[in-house]
Every structure is written in structure tokens, then in C-alpha cells.
Structure 1
């Protein structure tokens, strides 16, 4: 599928208000069942659907990595949409998220959410780093103050090249629970 066709499919999905299955060209990367809530020059924002068929946070994925965004091949799309509507779950887009640049995306997501999950799936599709963004270095590396699975905050920052980042997750049950238990990160 060409990038122009994929972009048209994403725009159509956003206008229709129906969920899609998003596949990406990254080996081992998760496929995402979601509603398209924003499209920028570099990033696409999705309101994701959990395996339990609830809306569960947002994912931003690089537009260039998407190979398919369609309801075709996802037999449960219609039922999922109806189940969410019956439960009164409403698709939402966080206001003011910059999807045109990676630096802008990081800044606006950090303003809107207490934690970011950062994925570098082309390097390791099975790992994500969770924490509070602490800016971008001159060498275009995201500084992240990480929070561990026991909700304990690191005192130092980890860094990843922004060019290696393939996905960000914000909100959702797990990240909200980590923040509730871990609280605000300590200042260095």
C-alpha cells in the first residue's frame, strides 16, 4: 500500500468515527486497534482499545511506519464500536497535541499527561521506557526520568535518540495506576 493510500485511509477513518486496526512495518511491533483522532505531518494519534474492549489511553505512532489502517480483516470492528457506544465510552482527542514534529509531540504530551511510555521498537520491540520527559538534548536525545514497575522513580535520566522512537503511549489504566502510586517525580 502506498503512503498516499494509507494517509487517505487514516483520514477516512477519522472522519467516519469508526475503529481501525493499524499495522506497522516494524518487525515484532504490536498491531493497534484504535480510533484515529489526529493526523500530522509526522505522527498519527490513536485512541486505543484494550483487549477487554475499553478505551485505554492514546498512542502516537510515526506516520511513515504505518503499512495498513483498515477495518477490513478485523471481523470484530463493528461489534467493538457498538460495545463501546453501549457502555457510553466516548472517543476523545487530547487538545493541542502537536503531531507535526517529534519535539513538539513530546512537549505537548508532557504538558497534557504525567507519564509517557516511550518505544524504540526497531531496536527492541519488546521494551518500553516509562517516565516523565525532561527535555531534549542538543543531540536530539529525549531525557526521561523513569518510573519502574514498583512505581519507584529513578534519580537519573535515561536518554534515547528521538529518531529511534517509534511510539508514545499516554493515559490508560497502567500508566494512570503507576502515576497514582508513584506520584510526582523527585527533582534532581
Structure 2
């Protein structure tokens, strides 16, 4: 009962943060998972979309995290959140919603992120919080496994796809500086 009440409060706080346009600190109940400082730009039935703020206080792409994994969403921000918001505003950096992203299902999220961005960073933090796979989504199998054609740190494309159970995916990142740099050097993957 307490957990359900806490989740209801978290959902309410996330929706309020989306409406008021203030940054929020999001923590998840996954050992070793990053805490995310971000603007909430979308809340769906299963996923929350965040326009993330880098440690250098710049907007740096988007993260989609599972709603069920969020255990804390500080609606009053964090110490320094007002300064962060003001710095971004003074620099002319404005958070941007992505209205075409489906946050109600994992399949819909993968499909809509793939249409909007050339690369996805796929995190399986409950399995290993220190590893992510980066690449281009090539579909979901009947057994609900994401097929991802990966790109390595040297911007070289794998010729085959790796697969991961969609139920194991805890976070997707898109559009950040590192992913943009990989795509700029590596280009689009060869069709296979």
C-alpha cells in the first residue's frame, strides 16, 4: 500500500514538473543506476521522457526511463537546481518536448525513438549498470527481443545485430553529444 502511494506521489510530481518547466532530480530503484538531472518532457503509462542536463550544465539529449523504476523525483529540484535553470535560460538553452514519442509501450517507444534519432543507447542496468549498447534499432522479434545493430567506440558498425529482451531494458538515451559524435563519424549503418 505504501509503495502504491509513493508511486502515485511520484507520478503526480513528474506531471507537475512537466507542466511548470523546472528541472528535477530523478533517482531509480536500481543499484548503481545514474541519477538524472533533467526536465520532464513526457510522461506515459510505462515510460518517462527527460531532457537531460549534463554535469557541465548544458542540455544533452534525452533519456527515457521506466516509470516503475523511479523511486524518487525531487519536485523541489536539488540544491543548485534554480541556478542550473537560470544558467541554461541565460545561455538560451531551452528544454524541448518531443510530442511524437510513444511513452505508453516499449515497442512504441523504440519505434518512435528510432524514427526521430539515428542512434539509441540501450541500458540494461539491472543486469549491469555500467554497460550500454549503442546502435540502430532493427526491430523487435516475436520473443520481444530488441535487435540492435551496434556501433563501437571507434564509430565502426557491427555487421550483425545483438539482441536484448525488451523487459530487461531500463533506459534509452538519444540525441546527446556522444551519440551525435559517433553518428557524425560512423554515418548510418550499412543495410544488412
Shorter chain as denominator, the TM-score bin is over 0.9
Aligned Cα root-mean-square deviation (Å): 0.9
- Superposed counterparts of 1:1-188, under 5 Å: 2-72=6-76, 74-188=78-192
Q: SS at 1:125's partner residue?
A: coil
CA distance in 1, matches of 2:32, 2:45: 25
1:72 positional shift: 4.2
Cα distance in 2 for partners of 1:53, 1:71 equals 19
Shift of 1:71: 4.5
Contact 2:136–2:189 (Cα < 8 Å) also in 1: yes
Name the CA distance, whole Å, in 2 between partners of 1:53 and 1:35: 12
Q: Secondary structure at the match of 1:38?
A: strand
Other structure's SS at 1:47 match: strand
Contact 1:71–1:77 at 8 Å: present in 2 too?
Answer: no
Residues 1:40 and 1:73: Cα distance change in structure 2 (over 3 Å):
closer
Contact 2:106 2:166 in 1 (8 A): yes
User: What's the TM-score, normalizing by structure 1?
Assistant: 0.98
- 1:94/1:112 contact within 8 Å kept: no
CA–CA distance in structure 2, aligned partners of residues 134 and 185 of structure 1: 11
Aligned residues: 188
Cα offsets for 1:130-150 (capped at 9, x unmatched)? 000000000000000000000
Q: Quick check: 1:23–1:68 contact (8 Å CA) kept in 2? A: yes
Unaligned runs of 5+ in 2: none
